[in-house]
């Protein structure tokens, strides 16, 4: 396979620049495509603050990004095709291989570490990457692959909350598209309002939703009522179905003849800030 000039390709392909959101979205896509069930995104900010303006959110300088998942990792086959860009093989698996180049555009150092069942794979990813640069050590361990971006090229003041919210938005979209392809997926939905505070669901809480589960009496569900999504507890009694709020100021939603109810998914976990 003929190699391309990655430095020139990156400069041409990313003329508009690369953001932290672009990099993290690419890493999340790869982790989900690799079958990762547990994925973490660690954002390391400097202790010093950037310029602050009265009435605006605190900004901090992003120093390092680390993405870890428990997917299949850098197996021999994956390593064989890792270096490909815009080949027929990449087309067949639904990509071009250019997304990961965002890592090189955004950071001066990209460290890859992949623990397979009986082998540890490590290498530094750079425009001059060659398969011979990969270091393999025979050691047993639990599956875990991490990509760490260090020495970021642009020391940009970042609005932390907005960046995290953007990442959540991207993750929901990626998981939705994967689900549309017929793959099992868990979705994340951000709650709004106070109708479920009795169940511990506060404004802004992140709900983990499983669309593969069958909704049963007593489950907290994401329901579609007259075209609108709502979070409520499902009640099934004597052949009747109601959606119950966990706040006494809200009346139950009862379904009349001809009114349609759709269960979008079952809430399995709640993630929210404690402070």
The residues annotated as belonging to the active site are 195, 232
Task: Kindly give the pairing relationship between strand 228-237 and strand 220-225.
Answer: antiparallel
d(CA 135, CA 137): 7
Q: Which residue reads 């071009």 in tokens?
A: 96
Both tokens assigned to 233: 């507890």
Q: Which residue reads 């397979």 in tokens?
A: 116
Q: Is 217 exposed, middle or buried (0-12, 13-18, 19+ CB in 10 A)?
A: exposed
d(CA 175, CA 167): 12
Whether 231 contacts 244, CB under 8 Å? no
Helix residue ranges per DSSP H, 87-242: 88-92, 101-106, 160-180
Q: Which residue reads 């100021």 in tokens?
A: 249
CB-facing half-sphere around the CA of 242: CA atoms within 13 A? 12
Helix (H) or strand (E) holding 12: helix 6-13
**Residue positions counted in the chain:** 275
d(CA 11, CA 7): 6
Which residues are registered as beta bridge partners of 68?
A: 40, 146
Task: Kindly give the pairing relationship between strand 261-271 and strand 253-254.
Answer: unpaired
């Amino acid at each position: 396979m003929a190699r391309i000039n990655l430095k020139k390709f990156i400069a041409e392909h990313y003329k508009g620049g690369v953001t932290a959101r672009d990099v993290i979205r690419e890493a999340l896509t790869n982790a989900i495509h690799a079958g990762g069930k547990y994925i973490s995104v660690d954002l390391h900010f400097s202790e010093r603050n950037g310029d602050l303006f009265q009435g605006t959110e605190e900004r901090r300088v992003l120093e390092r990004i680390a993405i870890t998942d428990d997917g299949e990792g850098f197996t021999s086959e994956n390593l064989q095709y890792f270096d490909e860009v815009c080949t027929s093989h990449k087309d067949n698996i639904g990509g071009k291989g250019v997304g990961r180049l965002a890592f090189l555009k955004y950071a001066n150092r990209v460290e890859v570490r992949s623990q397979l069942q009986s082998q540890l794979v490590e290498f530094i990813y750079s425009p001059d990457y060659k398969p011979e640069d990969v270091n393999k050590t025979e050691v047993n361990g639990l599956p875990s692959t991490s990509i760490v971006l260090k020495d970021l090229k642009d020391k940009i003041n970042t609005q932390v909350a907005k960046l995290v919210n953007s990442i959540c938005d991207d993750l929901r979209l990626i998981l939705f598209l994967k689900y549309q392809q017929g793959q099992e997926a868990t979705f994340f939905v951000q709650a709004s309002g106070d109708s479920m505070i009795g169940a511990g669901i506060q404004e802004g809480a992140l709900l983990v939703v499983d669309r593969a589960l069958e909704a049963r009496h007593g489950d907290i569900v994401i329901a579609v009522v007259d075209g609108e999504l709502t979070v409520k507890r499902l009640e099934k009694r004597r052949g009747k179905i109601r959606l119950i709020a966990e706040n006494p100021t809200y009346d139950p939603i009862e379904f009349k003849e001809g009114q349609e109810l759709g269960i979008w998914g079952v809430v399995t976990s709640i993630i929210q800030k404690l402070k």
